[in-house]
Structure 1
Amino acid sequence: MTKFKLLATAAMGLESIVADEVKALGFETQNENGKVFFEGDEAAIAKANLWLRTADRVKIIAGEFTATTFDELFEQTKALEWEKFLPVDANFPVQGKSVKSKLYSVPDCQAIVKKAIVERLKKAYHRNSFLDESGARFKIEVSILKDKVQLSIDTSGAGLHKRGYRTGQGEAPLKETLAAALVKLTRWSPDRPFVDPFCGSGTIAIEAAMIGQNIAPGYNREFDSEFWPWMKRKVWDDARLEAEEAADYDQPLDITGTDIDHRLIETAKANAMEAGFAELITFKQRQVKDFTATGESGVIVGNPPYGERIGEIEKIEEMISDMGRVFSAYPTWSVYMLSAAENFEELYGQKATKKRKLFNGFIKTDFYQFWGERPKNT
C-alpha cells in the first residue's frame, strides 16, 4: 500500500479534539490552525473517513511548495506526479483560496492549477486531445498562505458532518461535527443519563447515542474515494466490517432531548429513526424551566438560542436564569452550554468551572462547563 501525507481539516477550536480522534485510530499527528496532519495508506483513508466524528474532511496532500508568480505555480504543479492519483478519465474540479499572498486572484490560481494538471496528465497518458473527465471525482484544492502553496485532493466528497440521518432540521441547526465535539468535551460515558434541553432537530442527542454505542459516524454514507480505481473495494469492505464489529448495539442508553417547539420534536424523532435510535432516545416537548430528571451524575448539554433582537435577548436572558435555578436542584449533574451571551455566568448565577472558546459556524461562542459534585455514596 502507498503511504500518503493526510490532512484532517477541523473547525477553529476543535483541532485538539480531531487530533485525539486521529491518534485513537493509531496515527501520530501534527497540528496547525484548522489542520491535523498524519501519515497513512489507503486503509487509513477509509478508516479516517468512517470514524472521525469532529473533523470536516480528510484530504491527501499532493504537493507543497512556494510560488510568487503564475509561472512558478504552473511549473511546480505540473512537476507533481498527478498520474499517481488521477486516472485518465478523472473528473477533477479545482477550488482555491489565497491569504496574504502575492498570487491573490483565486480564479486565476484555480485555472492555472487546472491547466498544469491537464498538461501533466496528457503527457503521462499520451493524449493529444482534451481529457473527457467522465470518471470518478477527485476534488482538488489549491490553498495559498503567505506564498506557500498546498495542493490537496479531497477523499471525503460531502463534508463529514453529512452523516446521512438528517431528514429535517430547525432554523439554526448545529453541525453534527460540532455536536459530537460538545459531547466529547463532556467526557460523558454511556452509563450516565444524558439530556439536551434545547434539542432542536436532535443532533446532540443522536451524536451522543452514536458515541455511546461506538457506532462509526460514516457508516451510513458514501465517500468520493470509494469510487477511485486505485482504492480497492476490499479496503472499504474491511473498514466497514471492522466498524460493524466495533459497534455495541446492546449498550443501554438513557438519553433525552426536549424542546419548546413540538414541530422540532417530530423532526428529532424522524432523524433518530433514520439513525437507528428511535427506541433509544426519548424526545418530548418541554420548556427548560420545567426541567426534571432522575438519577445521579447525569450530563446536560445544550445549545440554547442566541437571539439578536432586543425582545429575543430579554427572553433568552430570562431562560438562562431559569436554567441556573432549575439545574441547581441536581448538584451531582454536570451542565455544559454553548452560548454567545457574554454575561452567561452572571445570568446563570454561577461561575463556570471551565470555559472553552468555540465557533458555531461564524458565531463566536463559549462552551460553559459547570461540573457536578461527586454523589455522596461514592
Structure 2
Amino acid sequence: MTDQRRLSARISAIAESATLKVDAKAKALQAEGRPVISYAAGEPDFPTPAHIVDAALEAVRDPRNHRYTPAAGLPDLREAIAAKTRRDSGLDAAANQVVVTNGGKQAVYQAFQVLLDEGDEVLVPTPYWTTYPEAIKLAGGTQVDVFAGSEQGYLVTVEQLEAARTERTRALLFVSPSNPTGAVYPPEQVKAIGEWALEHGIWVISDEIYQNLTYAEDPESAPARALSIVEAVPALADQAILVNGVAKTYAMTGWRLGWMVGPADVMKGAANLQSHLTSNVSNISQRAALAALTGPQEPVEEMRRAFDRRRRTIVAELSKIDGMSVPVPEGAFYVYPDVSGLLGREWGGATPTTSLELADLMLEQAEVAAVPGEAFGPSGFLRFSYALGDDPLLEGVQRLQRLFA
C-alpha cells in the first residue's frame, strides 16, 4: 500500500465545532471538580415540555413507529410544518415542500448540497454560526464573508452585499435572529435584501431556527417579530430554502428534529439525497415534534420570558465592564460583545491580544467559559449564551467584573 493517507482531504479539512469544543472543555474541567460556569452551549437549560415527552412515550409503544417511514418525513408532521411555515414565515407551503431532517444541521448541509456546484460562491453575513463554513466547503462552494460589526448592530446592508457579489454568486445565507449575535433584521432591511436577491437571481438560504425567540423593549409587551424574507418578498419563494426545527424553541436539542422548506423540485432532490444519507428521522422524534407544533404553546412562552429576563441581566452586567461594548440582542439567546477594548491590556499577569487568548484567560483565571470571536469570524468578540440558570449567569458575569476591574 503506497498511499499512506488515513483520511480524505475533504474530511481532513473539516474544522471541529468551536462551540462544542469550548463546551466540552468546560465540562471536562467541571468533571475535575472545578466550579466552571459555561456560557458556551447553544441550547436551552429547560427540560422538554411534558406533553411532548408524553407523546414520545406513547409513540414508542406503537408498532407503526418501529419500521421505516418515508425519508422526507411522516405525512402528518410535514403537514404540521407546512402550517407552521404559513403561520410564522408567511409562505403558503404545502407538505410536499417539506423535508424532515435529523436536526437543523442536516437541513443546512442538504440545502448547500442541493444548490451548489464546485466553485459557486455563497455570501455569508459575518459573524456567522460555526457550521456554515464547513457545510459550504463540503458542497464544493466558496464562502464570501460580508462583515458587519457592532457599530452597525451586526446587520449587513444591501450595499455591502452588492459589493461582494460576483458572477459566481449562487446563494445568500440569511439568518435572523442571528447566532452568534442575537441580531434581528428590521422589516425594511429584510425587504431590501430580499428584493436585491430576487433582482439578481440569487438563492436565499434562510435559517429561521430562532424565529420564535424574539423580545420587546418592554418585557410586558408583545415580542418583536422576526420577519421571514419570503414574507417580505413573496416572489422570492421560488428561489429560497427555509431551515428550521424544534431544538431551540421547544428545548429539544437532543431529539434531533429539523426541517427544510422550499420549492417542490428542490425538496425532491433533498429527499433523494436524504434517502441515501440517513433515510427517515427517528419516528419517535417525529411524533414528539408533531406534539410540539400542534400542542399547547404556553411552555414556549414561559421559556421565552425566562430568556428575556436573563438577556436583560447579562447585558446590564456585562456593560459594567470597561472595555466591553455590548449591543442589545433582540432574538435567540446569545449576547456578542465587542471586547477589543480589553485586548492589549494586562489582566492577572497576562496580556491577551486576541479574543481567543482572552477566552483562555477567562477560563483559567475566572473559571468562566465563553466562545471567542475567531469561531464566528474576526477576532475581538466573545459569544455568551444566556440559556443557563439565573444564578450561575449572574455569578459568572460578576467573576468577570472582578477579573477585569
Instruction: Give the number of the structure with larger relative contact order, counting CA–CA contacts within 8 Å between residues 6 or more apart.
Output: 2
TM-score range, shorter chain: under 0.3
Report the TM-score, using the length of structure 1 for normalisation.
Answer: 0.26
Larger fraction in helix: 2
Instruction: Identify the structure with the greater strand proportion.
Output: 1
TM-score (norm. length: structure 2):
0.24
